[in-house]
Structure 1
Amino acid sequence: MKHFLATIIGLLCALSTFATSTDSLFNELNAALVKKKEYEAIKLKRIDELKQSLRKEQNPTAQQLYNGYSSLYEEYKTFNYDSAFYCAKQLEKVAPQLNDKAKIEEVKLKIGFILLSSGMFKETYDVLQSIIPSSLNKKERVEFFSLQARYYFDLADFHKDKYFTAAYNQKGNDFADSAMALSDPASYDYLSLQGLKNLRNGDMKAATKSYEQIMSFKNLTPHQFAINASSLSFIYAYSGHEKESVDLLVKAAIADVKSATKETVAILNLADILYKKGNTQTAYDYIKQALEDATYYGARHREIQIGAILPIIEGQQLSTVEHQRKLLLGYSILATVLFLMVVTFIVIIFKQLKKLKVADKIIKLANENLQHTNDLLKEANKIKDEYIVYYFNVCSEYIDKLERLKKSIEQKLLMGRGDDLKTTLAKVDLHKEREGLFLSFDKVFLKLFPNFVQGFNSLFKEEDRMKIEDGQLMNPELRIFALIRIGITDNDRIAKILDYSVNTIYAYKTRIKKKSLVSNDDFEEYLMKIQSV
């Protein structure tokens, strides 16, 4: 169990490392592509400096011209075919002036190299046939046979015909053997030809060994690194080592971009791998870069290669874009529907809130009315309680008086003192009794409404306010409105209580309301606002 868990954890760590390292390399490649113009600018600046140096010579010698155009050719040979070809043709003009047959043949090698790099196989063949190997030194003969080998291998890849491809590969192997026979077994030329030959013959194990030896060299140029990394990447992919294969190909592409190399296959092969893995967007971006490089250089056979792959990737990319467009349209419709639903819900909610606000206002108003009614009921209860007590007290007093009067009359009648009856009855002062009754009413009322007089007078100007005489609590006018305040609003009832005529009550009320600061219609409403205790 422990071993199983350790294996799982190790696998997860390996997958994590794979993703992290590969993603890091892709990030580096993408960063390099962003700076691609900057790397090209460095290359062009170096070329411009060589041109300026050549122009400074007023009367350059043939050797100076040869050296200058050779330097320019080296800069252009993997950068731009037309410019490299121009430099090679200038060398072709200058070489005879040096009286050195080896230089003339060397120039042919240069022309053959760029013609082959551009995919011009017929022209390459003609140039190679015109070269006299015996006129070349050992190093140049190695270059000559290597170029011959590359020519036939490239021709085999281009034709891909069962019959002719086998023959081309065999010729390529023969020329590779010739070049290797002249090379040091530990040299770059020997190992690269050995690796290429073994790769062509399907001996992946031997090819891997050769290319891994080359990759261990410390002094490889960026272009040499890219070529051999691309070859080793192919072998790793064939052997099932996907991560190592992709990593090497990405590193090769980075080297090409940073060295401003346009004659390249790394990014093209990388685009093809990514397309097959389903990463259409990145594959499309990379193959466009490959096409741009091939067009800039003038590599016709690369353009044909790319032309065979590009429509497929573009078609897939268009399908992906169309699928994304449909998804986006679907999401847009869904978002629109959701938006309309949200808007509908918001409208409904606002309507409900509006209804709730109206209902809340109604409830608040009802509560206020209820509170007001409760207040009126409390006030009415207080008035009722006070005046019930007052009523019983008054009635009790008058019953006592009536009882005493009755006894007095009965005694006088028994005693036959009829004349005294008139005197007794004369002593009964109804006006005084009524005044006493009013005074009792005033006391009870002002006990309930202690601020009534002040509240009443606040409805008038200073000069029109009620003046209370000494010994009084309220005057008749105040008493009329006091009765109204406790709920007795009928003029006839008020007249009977106060022992006035209805007209008198009406006249009092009209005269007082006219002096008020408020309108006649609103006077009694303000009167009712005077609070009890």
Structure 2
Amino acid sequence: MKNRWFLLICLLLLTHIANAAKYNLDSLYQCLDEAILQSPRYVAVREGRIAKLASQLNACKNDGARYQMSFALFQEYQAYKNDSAVSYLNRCIALAERMGDQAKKGNAISLLAFQSSTIGDYVESYSLLNKMDTTKLDAEGYCNYLWAGQHLYGELAFYSNVPSLKEHYAQKAQVMKKQIARIFSHTDDRYLQMMEEDCRSANDLKGALYYSNLRMKQVKPGTHEYAIVAYYRAVICKHFNKDEDAIYYFLASALCDVRTAVMDQGSMWELANLLNQNQKEFAHTYAYIKFAWNAARIFNTALRSRQIMPLLSAVEGTYQKEITQSNRQLKLMMAVSVVLLVLVCTLLLYVNKQRRHLALAHKELEKANKNLEQTNRELQQTNRHLEQAYGSLNESNKMKEVYIGRFLRLCAIYVDKIETMRKCVVKLVKQRELTKLIDMMQTDHEYIGELYDYFDAAFLKLFPDFVEEFNALLKPEERIVLEDDGKLSTTIRIFALIRLGIEDSSKIAEFLHYSVNTIYNYRAKVKNGAICERDEFETKVKQIGMR
């Protein structure tokens, strides 16, 4: 049971897919629209064939050849330009009469009668057929005679408003059809067309499609013959209310007609007539009926114009309504556009105003940022000064620690020496060796030299580059050169004490065992040789070693 349901669902899906693939109407619409745009190129191809045949006709040397070329030109013009087709048929009749060939003459007259009946010239067709001597026709001519007769009488029966005449012409058409059924090959397309039309008139869909299928197998797609068979197939579908099928075959037929430059286009205006029932297809309807009307003007028959004119008028009326409605919509859209434009302009003004406010705020922000940057730079500079001051304080603290350490060590050394000297003095006093005591007391200058050596070593340890930086503050000729790298001169010691913070000349004089005037003179002499201002020299000396 499950398998049956599965198979049924698959069959429905396949049927749906097959139907969708069967009629790809969008593709056909696109192909037909493109073919209409390319129509001048297809017409040029047919005109090229006609020009070639006309050139060959002019080059013919005898009536037989002229007849063949004139007949070929009739075939080219038959579905293209009716006037030219009739003209070349009349030329064929005249040439056949001049040659005394009654068979060719009768065949040409039969074709002329059929051509006249297809364009609505029923009187001319009737006159031509009644004057013909059928005994002089060959098989081809007689078949064309029967075909022209059944078409003429069928048309007269269809369009006649007099019941007796309608019946009379219908009977004559049936006589012709019986002859066709007896004489024509049952594979002949005209016989199959006749049977197809009879089945359609009898509402026999199955029979009509049967004969239509036989005709389809005998024609090549893309040809004028295929367009005719597809047209009658579409008429069957339309007759039995199969509109989608009818549209498909009308499209296929019209496409072949356009591509083969056929101007007797029944399919195009029938397609437009069918599409006119659907408002959504108005664009296609208008394009197709307009093309069909232009084609009818080229084919140049009153019947085609009368057939197309009612539909063209209806479509034109609809087109005018569409234009009127479009104009109203356009006016409405213009009004809306104006309102939107005003709104946009208002928004633009508002946006520009806001942009100006933003620009001013941006400028204020930039100004504030610049002030902030300036403040930051000042803070950074202050921080650097603080860092330098902090570094100087650290350096001063370190120097103080070093000085205190060295001072304590120096004091310890001198305490030891004093203690040693005291013991020695006590010993010499006890031994009453006054002479040795006096000699020993007279050698105290050695202790001063050791003090200076110790001071020089300690100072150079703290400020190893002091001498170089000190000389850098002096003029080249005033610079001091030390005889011993490990010992300072008196001048350097004075300014070394100043660097250590001892600026008072009297204190410097006490330490170095010089008079105050001597120290003052040393200081004045060095300042005179400075490369900077005198008042700035000692300040710069105090800054040596701080970088």
Normalised to the residue count of structure 1, the TM-score between the two structures is 0.63
**Whole-Å Cα distance in 2 between the matches of residues 271 and 461 of structure 1?**
116
Gaps of 5+ in 1: 157-163, 515-519
What is the alpha-carbon root mean square deviation over aligned residues? Answer: 6.3
Alpha-carbon contact 1:468-1:474 (below 8 Å) kept = yes
Do structure 1's residue 296 and structure 2's residue 298 form an aligned pair? yes
**Matching residue within 173, 181, 201 for 2:178:** 181
Q: Residue 54 and residue 511 in structure 1: after superposition, are their counterparts in 2 closer, same or farther (change >3 A)?
A: same
**Whole-Å Cα distance in 2 between the matches of residues 4 and 468 of structure 1?**
122
Q: Residue 382 and residue 70 in structure 1: after superposition, are their counterparts in 2 closer, same or farther (change >3 A)?
A: same
Alpha-carbon contact 2:147-2:180 (below 8 Å) kept = no
Residue in structure 1 matched with residue 514 of structure 2 by the alignment: none
2:146 aligned counterpart, secondary structure: helix
**Whole-Å Cα distance in 2 between the matches of residues 18 and 461 of structure 1?**
114
**Whole-Å Cα distance in 2 between the matches of residues 453 and 19 of structure 1?**
108
**Matching residue within 54, 60, 81 for 2:57:** 54
* Higher alpha-carbon deviation: 371-380 or 74-83: 371-380
1:184 aligned counterpart, secondary structure: helix
**Matching residue within 141, 144, 158 for 1:140:** 144
Residue in structure 2 matched with residue 67 of structure 1 by the alignment: 68
Residue in structure 2 matched with residue 443 of structure 1 by the alignment: 461
Please give the per-residue CA displacement for 1:319-371, whole angstroms capped at 9, x wherever unaligned: 78988x979x89x99xx99xx9xx9999999x89x98xx79x96998998799
Q: Residue 6 and residue 245 in structure 1: after superposition, are their counterparts in 2 closer, same or farther (change >3 A)?
A: farther
Residue in structure 1 matched with residue 249 of structure 2 by the alignment: 248
Structure 2 counterpart of 1:309, which letter? V
Structure 2 counterpart of 1:141, which letter? Y
Alpha-carbon contact 1:294-1:302 (below 8 Å) kept = no
Structure 2 counterpart of 1:135, which letter? D
Alpha-carbon contact 2:254-2:268 (below 8 Å) kept = yes
Q: Compute the displacement of 1:52 (Å).
A: 1.6
Q: Residue 443 and residue 228 in structure 1: after superposition, are their counterparts in 2 closer, same or farther (change >3 A)?
A: same
Residue in structure 1 matched with residue 260 of structure 2 by the alignment: 259
Alpha-carbon contact 1:72-1:84 (below 8 Å) kept = yes
Q: Compute the displacement of 1:261 (Å).
A: 1.6
**Matching residue within 296, 310, 315 for 1:309:** 315
Alpha-carbon contact 1:153-1:169 (below 8 Å) kept = yes
Structure 2 counterpart of 1:253, which letter? A
**Whole-Å Cα distance in 2 between the matches of residues 208 and 39 of structure 1?**
31
Q: Compute the displacement of 1:98 (Å).
A: 5.0
Residue in structure 1 matched with residue 127 of structure 2 by the alignment: 130
Please give the per-residue CA displacement for 1:222-268, whole angstroms capped at 9, x wherever unaligned: 33321221222243355465654444333323322343222123344
**Whole-Å Cα distance in 1 between the matches of residues 158 and 96 of structure 2?**
29
Please give the per-residue CA displacement for 1:277-302, whole angstroms capped at 9, x wherever unaligned: 83555555555543443333335246
- What is the count of residue pairs matched by the alignment? 477
* Higher alpha-carbon deviation: 431-440 or 259-268: 431-440
Residues 310-389 of structure 1: matches in 2 within 5 Å? Answer: 312=318, 383=395, 386-389=398-401
Residue in structure 2 matched with residue 396 of structure 1 by the alignment: 408
Structure 2 counterpart of 1:300, which letter? S
* Higher alpha-carbon deviation: 245-254 or 167-176: 167-176
Q: Compute the displacement of 1:195 (Å).
A: 2.8
Q: Compute the displacement of 1:27 (Å).
A: 6.0
Q: Compute the displacement of 1:55 (Å).
A: 0.6
Residue in structure 1 matched with residue 515 of structure 2 by the alignment: none
Q: Compute the displacement of 1:211 (Å).
A: 2.4
Q: Compute the displacement of 1:129 (Å).
A: 3.3
Please give the per-residue CA displacement for 1:424-458, whole angstroms capped at 9, x wherever unaligned: 99869889868855653442345xxx8x9999999
Please give the per-residue CA displacement for 1:444-482, whole angstroms capped at 9, x wherever unaligned: 345xxx8x9999999999999996663259998999899
Structure 2 counterpart of 1:131, which letter? L
Residue in structure 1 matched with residue 191 of structure 2 by the alignment: 190
* Higher alpha-carbon deviation: 436-445 or 259-268: 436-445
1:260 aligned counterpart, secondary structure: coil
Structure 2 counterpart of 1:127, which letter? E
Q: Compute the displacement of 1:78 (Å).
A: 0.4
**Whole-Å Cα distance in 1 between the matches of residues 444 and 398 of structure 2?**
33
Gaps of 5+ in 2: 509-518
Residue in structure 2 matched with residue 216 of structure 1 by the alignment: 217
1:79 aligned counterpart, secondary structure: coil
Structure 2 counterpart of 1:194, which letter? M
Q: Residue 177 and residue 454 in structure 1: after superposition, are their counterparts in 2 closer, same or farther (change >3 A)?
A: farther
Structure 1 counterpart of 2:147, which letter? E
Structure 2 counterpart of 1:443, which letter? K
Q: Residue 531 and residue 396 in structure 1: after superposition, are their counterparts in 2 closer, same or farther (change >3 A)?
A: closer
**Whole-Å Cα distance in 2 between the matches of residues 96 and 4 of structure 1?**
74
Structure 2 counterpart of 1:142, which letter? L
Normalised to the residue count of structure 2, the TM-score between the two structures is 0.61
Structure 1 counterpart of 2:305, which letter? R
Structure 1 counterpart of 2:177, which letter? M
Structure 1 counterpart of 2:71, which letter? S
**Whole-Å Cα distance in 1 between the matches of residues 69 and 379 of structure 2?**
106
Q: Compute the displacement of 1:54 (Å).
A: 1.3
Alpha-carbon contact 2:293-2:305 (below 8 Å) kept = no
Alpha-carbon contact 2:29-2:251 (below 8 Å) kept = yes
1:278 aligned counterpart, secondary structure: helix
Residue in structure 1 matched with residue 237 of structure 2 by the alignment: 236
1:261 aligned counterpart, secondary structure: coil
Larger radius of gyration: 2
Do structure 1's residue 471 and structure 2's residue 488 form an aligned pair? no
**Whole-Å Cα distance in 2 between the matches of residues 6 and 365 of structure 1?**
88
1:249 aligned counterpart, secondary structure: helix
Q: Residue 224 and residue 427 in structure 1: after superposition, are their counterparts in 2 closer, same or farther (change >3 A)?
A: same
**Whole-Å Cα distance in 2 between the matches of residues 176 and 81 of structure 1?**
25
Alpha-carbon contact 2:153-2:173 (below 8 Å) kept = yes
**Whole-Å Cα distance in 2 between the matches of residues 383 and 251 of structure 1?**
107
Percent identical pairs in the alignment equals 15
Q: Residue 5 and residue 472 in structure 1: after superposition, are their counterparts in 2 closer, same or farther (change >3 A)?
A: farther
Q: Compute the displacement of 1:74 (Å).
A: 1.1
Q: Residue 201 and residue 18 in structure 1: after superposition, are their counterparts in 2 closer, same or farther (change >3 A)?
A: closer
Instruction: Select the structure with the greater relative contact order (CA < 8 A; seq sep ≥ 6).
Output: 1
* Higher alpha-carbon deviation: 469-478 or 172-181: 469-478
Residue in structure 2 matched with residue 207 of structure 1 by the alignment: 208
Q: Residue 409 and residue 479 in structure 1: after superposition, are their counterparts in 2 closer, same or farther (change >3 A)?
A: closer
Please give the per-residue CA displacement for 1:406-429, whole angstroms capped at 9, x wherever unaligned: 9899999xx9x9x99xx7998698
Do structure 1's residue 80 and structure 2's residue 85 form an aligned pair? no
